Chain A
Amino acid sequence: MVKRGFTIGPQNFENLLAWLDSDRERAAEKYEKIRQRLTRMLVCRGCWEAEDLVDETIDRVARKVDEIRGDYIGDPAAYFGGVARHVYQEWLKKKPGMPPASPKPVKPEVAGPEYDCLEGCLDHLTQNNRALILGYYRDDKQAKIDHRRALAKQEGIEIEALRLRVHRIRKVVRECVIKCIEQKVTTNEWTG
């Protein structure tokens, strides 16, 4: 049901960007942000083809943008959300098969590419951030709660700020790992 990639022309796309912001650079940023959040929204609904549904959503909005932009009041992102929900409902009726199986935990003796890349990415963190993220993952349950309280105290910040900080480090590391995996696949390091 869902096609891959865009089918809209360059003019439609330019109109779409112009609706998001009169400054083209800022419009491109907003577009990326909307795209990312729509994907997240559909993933949260349990959709395993979120990227394709987002393409379809943007296609539909771009086609209608000339009609919308004059009358629509509010953040365009919310409009995209409404269209995405509609596309999602259509997908639900025709969704193909079952979702991909959950990953099997990686066998310890065969460390996966995530682990190899992770080691390298952690090494590129500053020492304090590296200590923070590893410490955050090290303990379980009560020990973890206690450890996090201690970390927050040591850093002189609230637990809430610590959570956000760890989240940001984790995000940086995850992006680094994704890039590393892509790079290694491109250079055939794993695929031979």
Chain B
Amino acid sequence: MNERNNDEGAIRQYLLGQLHEPEQIAIEDRLLTDDPYYQRLEMIEDELIDDYLAGTLSDPDHQAFSTHFLAAPERQNKLKFALAMHRSASAHPAPEMTSKDSAIELDPNPEPARIGDPARRSTSRTYAFASSPYFKIAAALIMVFGPGLLVWRVVFYQSDVDKALALMRQIHSNERLVDSRLSGLDYARRNETRGGENRMSPDLRVKRDVAERILLDAIREDPNPKDYHALGEFYLADRQISAAIPYLEGAVKAASANAQFHSDLGAALLEQGKVEKEQPVPSEFLPESSPGAETLSKSLAELNRALELNPNLLPALFNRALCKEAMGQNSEAREDWRNYIEKDRGSAWSAEAQQHLDSLEKHDSTSRDIERDVFQPNRQTVSGINRCA
């Protein structure tokens, strides 16, 4: 066993280009002349790709994978194949295993093409299963273990959408790309630089694509407000604001009593409003109100609705303070920040709220100073005027 593990370790290092020449030659001589060894090397190569896609490679291995392993087009094709396999595995429900079947050959009498026809596939399986002698046994087992299974499903089961959301949280665990607080994400510091997506590592980009695929497939197969919200939040976290809004609006429309959905739609509109504010607009196209004001008003309405439904929803409170700040309603924004800090003491979000509050208070104090200087003549000037009089 140890020898096999050593072999595997050496093969992995070889595949990643991490061995010195004499060790490389030793492995190459074996792969050229030893059939089982060659097969093992091929297998480990595939598993290395799986590990890369699963994000389980160490940093040095990850680096070697990107720069050395993927250099050859053949390997890039294998990576594409593995991505397609992952997609396919996510898209199809877990099929039942039948009798032992060690043959690897393709089925000589396959059913006609079934691409894009999952319903038909599952129906035919259902009939086959129902007519099998195992059906009664399965039914009995469900009666015995059903309650346990229910607990398992509620407590431990993770759907594909949950997995995609877990990936989203992982992708944005170090820094966030938007100012607002999304209901499904933990705290991460704000990335102040533009082009955060471009700085994303290949590993995270692959994960992002996998998550997006899962969420799109989920919506295609069974559209529902939860999945609409999940995809909208995914796009918003990725700063694809215009892609996020329609999904979040869809979620709110379908589940108008969900405070979390209103909060995230408010966050998306807030981000959109800020973008509009920053974009230079030709004067002839300027609306009567200032740029972004209309979108920010909509954002505020959504956030107010979220807080009506749940006054303690912290993301909504955080976002409303941000929204009021963006609208220039500084005194109301200060009030919301204070309220937020009071409700979420000691958290990283709260520390960020405090920074906003400090900044607003400093800004207001500077404004007051300027106002005083402009509108209240200083004593010297006043005394001079008096003298003249």
Chain A interface residue count, Cβ-Cβ cutoff 8 angstroms: 75
Q: How far is the CB of B63 from the nearest CB of chain A, in Å?
A: 13
Task: Give the chain B neighbours of A133 by CB distance below 8 A.
Answer: 85
- Name the residue on A nearest B163 (C-beta): A140
| Binary contact readout A89-130 vs B (1 if CB under 8 angstroms, 0 otherwise) | 000000000011011011111011011101111111111111
| Binary contact readout B63-107 vs A (1 if CB under 8 angstroms, 0 otherwise) | 000101111111111111111111111101011111111111111
Given contacts A99-B71, A138-B90, contact A45 B104 (CB under 8 A): no
- Name the residue on A nearest B110 (C-beta): A124
* CB-based contact B88/A122 at 8 Å: yes
B370 proximal to A (CB < 8 A): no
Given contacts A44-B15, A45-B24, A124-B106, contact A130 B95 (CB under 8 A): yes
Task: Give the chain A neighbours of B103 by CB distance below 8 A.
Answer: 126, 129
* CB-based contact A167/B43 at 8 Å: yes
Q: How far is the CB of A165 from the nearest CB of chain B, in Å?
A: 7
Task: Give the chain A neighbours of B83 by CB distance below 8 A.
Answer: 105-106, 114
* CB-based contact B29/A137 at 8 Å: no
B159 proximal to A (CB < 8 A): no
Of the residues A80, A123, A125, A156, contact of B114 by C-beta under 8 Å:
A123
A125 to B114, CA, bound (A): 13
A135 to B95, CA, bound (A): 8
**Quick check: which of A5-13, A20-28, A171-179, A184-192 contacts chain B, the rest being far away?**
A171-179
Given contacts A48-B73, A123-B113, contact A105 B94 (CB under 8 A): no
Q: What is the predominant secondary structure among interface residues of chain B facing chain A? A: helix
Q: Which 9 A-B pairs have the closest CB atoms?
A: A128-B101, A137-B89, A105-B209, A167-B43, A108-B213, A77-B32, A99-B71, A114-B84, A124-B106
B-binding residues in A (CB < 8 A): 34, 37-41, 43-48, 50, 75, 77-78, 80-81, 85, 99-100, 102-103, 105-109, 111-112, 114-116, 118-138, 140-141, 144, 151, 154-156, 160, 163-165, 167-174, 176-177
A-binding residues in B (CB < 8 A): 4, 14-15, 17, 24-25, 28-29, 31-33, 38-39, 41-43, 46-47, 50, 54, 56, 66, 68-90, 92, 94-107, 110-111, 113-116, 163, 202, 205-206, 209, 212-213, 216-217
